[in-house]
Chain A
Amino acid sequence: MTAPKVKVLQESDDEISLQLEGVDRSYANAVRRFCISEVPSMAIDDIVILENSSVLYDEILAHRLGMVPLRTDLERYVLPERCDCGNPLGCQKCRVLLVLDATAKERPRTVVSGDLVSEDREVCPVNPNIPIVKLAVGQSVKLEAYARLGRGKEHAKWQPATASILTEGKGEGVFVLKVETSGTMPAKEIVARSIEKLEEKLKELQKEVEEKAAQ
């Protein structure tokens, strides 16, 4: 087999198309799958509702907030289960607090993702215009939301890629991998992290095999 070759067919912040040559289909597909299920990203996971007089129930509000894509910096944050703080409430490295405090005073109001105030400026909604709930006059929503890193296999809100597609390229053993991002991180980074995660897992596997073989 020839040495792996990668060619960038097209790239923007939102999506990337790569031509892969000299890799096995199973490897290429694993990268595709990891873009969906293994690359961590930020999403709101825990909510303390202080007040909710809107028409939406707490659980619906929580669900909607969870689906809001947040900008993710994988250098500064770690998955809670890998964090060394051991604190069930989390620490600076494994969680971010966002606060929502909205009241419709004089006229009905739509609360949008941009109303979320984050303790970390970098971790904020990708798009500030996502509607969360509509408030009638006099209604208000007040809550604390804790965002954390998580993986797509846990819940769809942690999928960094909205589309991750592996198709056949021109010629034998040539594949095209196309990844679109929800905006949590650049598409390029998703692919890079995906390969990183895959390598990590393969290394673990290798270690395991060697240990077992040695016995």
Chain B
Amino acid sequence: MATTTRQLDSWAVLRDILQREGVARQHLNSYNEFIAKGLQSIIDEIGETEIETVSTPYKVKFGRVELGRPRIVEIDGSVSNIFPMEARLRNLSYSSPIYLDMTIEEEGMSREATRQHIGDLPVMVKSDLCQLSKMSKEQLVMSGEDPNDAGGYFIINGSERVIVGLEDLSPNKILVDLEKVGAVATYKARVYSSVVGYRSKMEVTLKQDGSINVKVPSCPIDIPFVIIMRALGFKSDKEIANAVSPKPEIQDLLEVSFDKANEAPTEKDALVYIGNRVAHGMLEEYRIKRALSMLDWGFLPHLGKADDRRYDKAMFLGEAVCKLLELRLGWIEADDKDHYGNKVIKFAGQMLADLFRTSFRNLVRDMKYQLERAGQKRGGNVVGAAIRTGIITDKLNNAIATGNWGRGKVGVTQLLDRTNYLSTLSHLRRIQSPLSRSQPNFEARDLHATHFGRVCPSETPEGVNCGLVKNLALSATISVSVPPAEVEERLWELGAKSIRDIPEKLALEGCKIFMDGRFIGYVDDGERLAKAFRKLRREGQIHPSASVMFYEATNKKGYSRLYISLSAGRVIRPLIVVEGGKPLLTQEMVSKIAANELTWRDIVERGIIEMLDANEEENCLVAMSPEEAGAKHTHLELYPGAMFGIAASIIPYPEHNQSPRNTYESAMAKQSLGFSTPTFPLSTFVRQHLLVNPQSPMVRTKSTELLNIDERPFGTNAVVAVLSFEGYNIEDAIVMNKSSIERGFARSFFYRLYEAESKQYLGGMRDTFEVPSAESNIRGYRGEKFYRLLEADGVIMHEATVSGGDAVIGRTSPPRFMEEYKEFEIKGPYRRDTSVAVRPTETGVVDSVFMTENVEGGKMYKVRVRDMRTPEIGDKFASRHGQKGVVGLVVPQEDMPYTADGVVPDVIINPHAFPSRMTVGQFIESISGKAASLRGRTADGTAFAGETPDEMGRILQEKGFEPTGREVLYDGKTGRKFAVDVFIGVVYYQKLHHMVADKIHARARGQVQMLTKQPTEGRARGGGLRFGEMERDCLIAYGASMVLKDRLLDEADKTEINVCEKCGLIAYYDAKQRKYACKIDGDQAKISTVVVAYAFKLLLQEMMSLNIAPRLRLKDAV
């Protein structure tokens, strides 16, 4: 098996990438770049602020920004450096102070330099700012951290939040499209021009009549393209036409546009034309000024804001029009918005940059206002006093804590999934699309060819988010930004010509060059340049993240284009370079990497493997296996199995499954219980599960080792027979061996955290932790028995057995309103009972009690209650192939079927689970698992590279079993052989976190809602079970009217109302006369009592409130 050995080996390269970089590298890189450069550039952009005081105005200039170590300022003002663990335990935010150097400048003279604390920046765990990134594994263990934690998230108020990667259209790229509404075709070219934290969309439209207009966000009306060109300083028509293209076919199509621009023949006219639209009704001088500032600041901002950038902007607009017309002429095809080369992914750094930009502006504005009010007082201390650090700190903290990014962007952050280790890792590699989940967006949800090796084809949710929420593939890496200056220098050396000075011939036939959305020039032979560029990159002279893509004109008349991308956020993936049909990666190098003598970076630098983005891959021909590689191939897949993401990569033999099954398993693996973190003795997650006897799977995949699944497993190996069992495993139920359960199979713990803190109120009153006593006038006192487990300090003791309603933390609070008791001063001040009690439906044992202090200096308790869960009827289990089911019956061992060797299955599943689902992977896993158990060594089930069913069957045969996995089974009840052989083997089973203990619910009588007097809803409120419309229809169909009345009236919200028979309105109770009366009919009224549903009475009254008089016409009951 040549392929198997090869793939097995080149796996070492991929493993090296993921293990060295970590699963959360994309978050860390993005954040690190933000703190290293982004922060400073945002500050530089604002630069200074002028303080306009009456006498001598002055300036505050901003200098270098610096970040301190993560720390917390205690209530007494003392500062202490903290680690993430302390932040989690004490509900703190893990953040660093931002210091900014400022200079006070008066009349052009520097007066005083000062360094000020301007706010706190949330620190990403394991980023360069985080202490943990500098620690060894041993040190991490000593400081109470998980040595395998990937980092990449924030800790705000003690909870872990991830900024999920946000998929976005590539910025600064001209994308052309054809929109057809009926027979009317509109051609559009769009550009999302972006600079750090700011984005402006430009749209060029070619209408049916041939006119070309430009839409700019700051201008309410579209502007003819020629007018913008004139306003940008292009004087002659020829100049403008040539900026689009010297080709006659294209210039012919510009005629209409020139005609439409006749009203503004000069630069000044054009500026006035634009000014009229952006600043209507102002002075002409002002209008021109506004037009120019619109062109400099709001139009294509990525090309710069200085007035010398206008030429570049005009050339860029010309190119957009050129591309648009090429589309119109049919020389090129519309751009594919779903192509992954047209997407970038924004991570924490970019997202925080947006926020920081606005909050820093707010801070500066506030500071300016404060200083101007201060008047003549000036100097470092005054500046310091004018800075309200909360502006930045609160904005950043709130945004991360709630996911609310402003401007309608919600759900940007999520609570880190700690169900099991795998779900945490998968969460860190998740990508969200900003597209609306309520619209179909069919194409955007589809798997695209360019997703291969970048985005997992299996791991996506079902339902509204299907295809919009994605997960990075194992082989995917996110590009980092490359400094453009040196790359540009290389291009000039390689013969590129600047757009500032283009020979006519080159503009006619040459290849256009774009660098990160800037149209920089032309070259005669684009393909040659691309090759030379790649050569330099392979020699290590250009950063490996830089990519080049050559688009060769398919139509002879069209332009060829060369795109160079240096931006961060492109999804890149490693490929082996092939030269002359030979892959450059040798067995020897791979062995060296496996032996840790060489790193993947070394071979990237030597040009042996390359990190390609989806655009550059369009220029490549990638072979799947070395045998396939021929003279035409440029690259070879590094490891095909790495096309899957984290969750799908743990599925053994996924290539044998029907694809949706792998999708289902990807979702379910994230719900399975396991060993999520070794820090759980100290973990304070609100809900948490722990599997007591987790096992590493008998049938593993390559990522089992890569992702440390052996140390953090999430399931148990089970002996599974495929057999029907007395009907107790129909409809996907599973039958479970009672003895297996008693021996500890799938036993788990459920933890629930209860917390309470002592708050300080106005007037110096505080919450106090104590055992509420019956004597001391406490409102809401629950009764002595609920507090019986509390100790003298008001908190429950370790290992106490608790059940619903028992107080775990005793606390009393001052009255809500101080005036309340003053009026009735008989009893004196009272206190309220605000004790925290165990949830009504839960029981358990007090596992741990944490006592600490929150950031406000209040005492805080956290009590964790654990509850042991042994599998019972109704608990949900699943194999790794999307085969889920609930326990239908627990069978004593002696009743279970047995093999001739005395093996009794742990689980029996129904044969009907297979034909329609086609999860052949599970059969193979079963065979492999059985063979692996017999030979005493785990089996490899990695996609495309695992040990084959034939190989495993042979092992079974050697050990005296059928290679098919089938065996004679005996019925435990009769001792008789089953008529057919039964398929039995070892399958890894996951216990999912849906357990009956959390869901079982019944109600005889109980609470009702205040408004409707109908039973409450939901288990937590002891609610009723809805007798819905369909159930009602059912009873009607049966003619069971008494049952219907019983359910819907007698046992629901039956009420008696009194109605005046004469007017049909509801009567009222006259307390003086002691009878019901009617205001309308007075003495004539005849009041009768009627039984109705309370909701009906409510309806009548609500209608009355709308000025409708609903009248009831009464008749005697028959």
Which A residue's beta carbon lies closest to that of B895?
A33
CB distance from A14 to the nearest CB of B (A): 12
Q: Mark contacts of B893-918 with chain A using CB atoms, 8 A cut-off: 1 yes-contact digit, 0 otherwise.
A: 11000101111000000000000000
Say yes or no: A37 contacts B970, CB within 8 Å.
Answer: no
Q: Does any Cβ of B come within 8 Å of A163's Cβ? A: yes
Q: Does any Cβ of B come within 8 Å of A137's Cβ? A: no
A157 to B741, CA, bound (A): 11
Q: Which of A105-152 contact B (CB under 8 A)?
A: 152
Say yes or no: B868 contacts A59, CB within 8 Å.
Answer: yes
Known: A29-B973, A59-B868, A155-B742. 15 other contacts (CB 8 A): A26-B974, A29-B974, A32-B894, A32-B975, A37-B894, A57-B866, A152-B894, A156-B740, A156-B743, A157-B742, A164-B902, A165-B898, A165-B900, A165-B970, A166-B970
Q: Which residues of the partner chain B approach A36 to less than 8 Å between Cβ atoms?
A: 893-894
Given that A57-B866, A168-B977 are contacting pairs, would A33 and B972 also be in contact in the complex, using a CB cutoff of 8 Å?
Answer: yes
Say yes or no: A165 contacts B901, CB within 8 Å.
Answer: yes
Say yes or no: A156 contacts B975, CB within 8 Å.
Answer: no
Q: Does any Cβ of A come within 8 Å of B71's Cβ? A: no
Given that A67-B743, A167-B900 are contacting pairs, would A28 and B975 also be in contact in the complex, using a CB cutoff of 8 Å?
Answer: yes
Partner of A156, one of B739, B868, B973, B976: B739
Which A residue's beta carbon lies closest to that of B681?
A55
Q: Does any Cβ of B come within 8 Å of A19's Cβ? A: no
A164 to B903, CA, bound (A): 9
Q: Does any Cβ of B come within 8 Å of A60's Cβ? A: yes
Say yes or no: A178 contacts B902, CB within 8 Å.
Answer: yes
Say yes or no: A156 contacts B738, CB within 8 Å.
Answer: yes
Q: Does any Cβ of B come within 8 Å of A25's Cβ? A: yes
Q: Does any Cβ of B come within 8 Å of A180's Cβ? A: yes
Which B residue's beta carbon lies closest to that of A25?
B975
Which B residue's beta carbon lies closest to that of A155?
B742
Q: Mark contacts of B1026-1040 with chain A using CB atoms, 8 A cut-off: 1 yes-contact digit, 0 otherwise.
A: 000000000000000
Q: Which residues of the partner chain B approach A29 to less than 8 Å between Cβ atoms?
A: 973-975
Q: Does any Cβ of A come within 8 Å of B855's Cβ? A: no
A36 to B898, CA, bound (A): 13
Q: Does any Cβ of B come within 8 Å of A153's Cβ? A: yes
Q: Mark contacts of B721-749 with chain A using CB atoms, 8 A cut-off: 1 yes-contact digit, 0 otherwise.
A: 00000000000000000111011100101
Q: Which residues of the partner chain B approach A67 to less than 8 Å between Cβ atoms?
A: 743-744
Partner of B901, one of A25, A152, A153, A163: A163
Q: Does any Cβ of A come within 8 Å of B799's Cβ? A: yes
CB distance from A11 to the nearest CB of B (A): 16
CB distance from B983 to the nearest CB of A (A): 19
Q: Does any Cβ of A come within 8 Å of B804's Cβ? A: no
Residues of chain A at interface, number, CB under 8 A: 31
Say yes or no: B894 contacts A33, CB within 8 Å.
Answer: yes
Q: Does any Cβ of A come within 8 Å of B692's Cβ? A: yes
Q: Does any Cβ of A come within 8 Å of B892's Cβ? A: yes
Q: Which residues of the partner chain B approach A162 to less than 8 Å between Cβ atoms?
A: 902
Given that A32-B975, A57-B866, A167-B900 are contacting pairs, would A152 and B893 also be in contact in the complex, using a CB cutoff of 8 Å?
Answer: yes
Q: Which residues of the partner chain B approach A73 to less than 8 Å between Cβ atoms?
A: none
Which A residue's beta carbon lies closest to that of B799?
A58
Q: Which residues of the partner chain A approach B893 to less than 8 Å between Cβ atoms?
A: 36-37, 152, 156, 159
A4 to B749, CA, bound (A): 52
Q: Which residues of the partner chain A approach B739 to less than 8 Å between Cβ atoms?
A: 152, 156, 159
A205 to B542, CA, bound (A): 91
Say yes or no: A26 contacts B975, CB within 8 Å.
Answer: yes
A33 to B897, CA, bound (A): 12
CB distance from A9 to the nearest CB of B (A): 14
Which B residue's beta carbon lies closest to that of A29?
B975
Say yes or no: A37 contacts B892, CB within 8 Å.
Answer: yes
A59 to B976, CA, bound (A): 39
A175 to B477, CA, bound (A): 64
Say yes or no: B972 contacts A180, CB within 8 Å.
Answer: no
Q: Which residues of the partner chain A approach B901 to less than 8 Å between Cβ atoms?
A: 163, 165
The 5 closest A-B pairs by CB, nearest first: A163-B902, A29-B975, A156-B739, A156-B742, A33-B894
Q: Does any Cβ of B come within 8 Å of A63's Cβ? A: yes
Say yes or no: A63 contacts B900, CB within 8 Å.
Answer: no
Q: In this complex, which of A28, A59, A67, A178 has the most chain B Cβ atoms within 10 angstroms of its Cβ?
A: A59
Q: Which residues of the partner chain B approach A55 to less than 8 Å between Cβ atoms?
A: 681
Q: Which residues of the partner chain B approach A32 to less than 8 Å between Cβ atoms?
A: 894, 975
Q: In this complex, which of B902, B970, B973 has the most chain A Cβ atoms within 10 angstroms of its Cβ?
A: B902
Say yes or no: B902 contacts A180, CB within 8 Å.
Answer: yes
Q: Which residues of the partner chain A approach B868 to less than 8 Å between Cβ atoms?
A: 59
A32 to B894, CA, bound (A): 8
Q: Mark contacts of B1052-1064 with chain A using CB atoms, 8 A cut-off: 1 yes-contact digit, 0 otherwise.
A: 0000000000000
A209 to B900, CA, bound (A): 36
Q: Which residues of the partner chain B approach A63 to less than 8 Å between Cβ atoms?
A: 744, 747
Q: Which residues of the partner chain A approach B973 to less than 8 Å between Cβ atoms?
A: 29
Q: Which residues of the partner chain B approach A165 to less than 8 Å between Cβ atoms?
A: 898, 900-902, 970
A178 to B799, CA, bound (A): 45
CB distance from B693 to the nearest CB of A (A): 9
CB distance from A104 to the nearest CB of B (A): 17
Q: Which residues of the partner chain B approach A157 to less than 8 Å between Cβ atoms?
A: 742
Q: Which of A26-59 contact B (CB under 8 A)?
A: 26, 28-29, 32-33, 36-37, 55, 57-59
CB distance from A133 to the nearest CB of B (A): 13
A60 to B901, CA, bound (A): 30
CB distance from B142 to the nearest CB of A (A): 13
A26 to B892, CA, bound (A): 18
A60 to B738, CA, bound (A): 18
Could you name 22 residue pairs across A and B whose Cβ atoms are closer than 8 Å? A25-B975, A26-B974, A32-B975, A36-B893, A36-B894, A37-B892, A37-B893, A55-B681, A57-B847, A63-B744, A152-B894, A153-B892, A156-B739, A156-B742, A156-B893, A159-B739, A163-B898, A163-B901, A164-B894, A166-B975, A167-B970, A178-B902
Q: In this complex, which of A25, A155, A157, A165 has the most chain B Cβ atoms within 10 angstroms of its Cβ?
A: A165
Q: Which residues of the partner chain A approach B681 to less than 8 Å between Cβ atoms?
A: 55
CB distance from B128 to the nearest CB of A (A): 33
CB distance from A159 to the nearest CB of B (A): 7
Q: Which residues of the partner chain B approach A168 to less than 8 Å between Cβ atoms?
A: 977
Q: In this complex, which of A60, A67, A162, A178 has the most chain B Cβ atoms within 10 angstroms of its Cβ?
A: A60
A58 to B744, CA, bound (A): 15
A25 to B973, CA, bound (A): 11
Q: Mark contacts of A64-82 with chain B using CB atoms, 8 A cut-off: 1 yes-contact digit, 0 otherwise.
A: 0001000000000000000
CB distance from B689 to the nearest CB of A (A): 14
Q: Which residues of the partner chain B approach A26 to less than 8 Å between Cβ atoms?
A: 974-975
Which B residue's beta carbon lies closest to that of A64?
B744
CB distance from A195 to the nearest CB of B (A): 15
A202 to B903, CA, bound (A): 29
Q: Which of B851-873 contact A (CB under 8 A)?
A: 866, 868
A44 to B660, CA, bound (A): 48
A156 to B744, CA, bound (A): 10
Q: Which residues of the partner chain A approach B744 to less than 8 Å between Cβ atoms?
A: 63, 67
Q: Mark contacts of B75-91 with chain A using CB atoms, 8 A cut-off: 1 yes-contact digit, 0 otherwise.
A: 00000000000000000
CB distance from A43 to the nearest CB of B (A): 11
CB distance from B515 to the nearest CB of A (A): 58
CB distance from B679 to the nearest CB of A (A): 13
Which A residue's beta carbon lies closest to that of B744?
A63
Q: Which residues of the partner chain B approach A152 to less than 8 Å between Cβ atoms?
A: 739, 893-894
Q: Which residues of the partner chain B approach A163 to less than 8 Å between Cβ atoms?
A: 898, 901-903
Q: Which residues of the partner chain A approach B977 to less than 8 Å between Cβ atoms?
A: 168
Q: Which residues of the partner chain B approach A167 to less than 8 Å between Cβ atoms?
A: 900, 970
A162 to B739, CA, bound (A): 11
CB distance from B1092 to the nearest CB of A (A): 54
A162 to B893, CA, bound (A): 11
A59 to B868, CA, bound (A): 8
Q: Which of B943-978 contact A (CB under 8 A)?
A: 970, 972-977
A67 to B742, CA, bound (A): 9
Q: Which residues of the partner chain A approach B747 to less than 8 Å between Cβ atoms?
A: 63
CB distance from B604 to the nearest CB of A (A): 43
A162 to B124, CA, bound (A): 53
CB distance from B971 to the nearest CB of A (A): 9
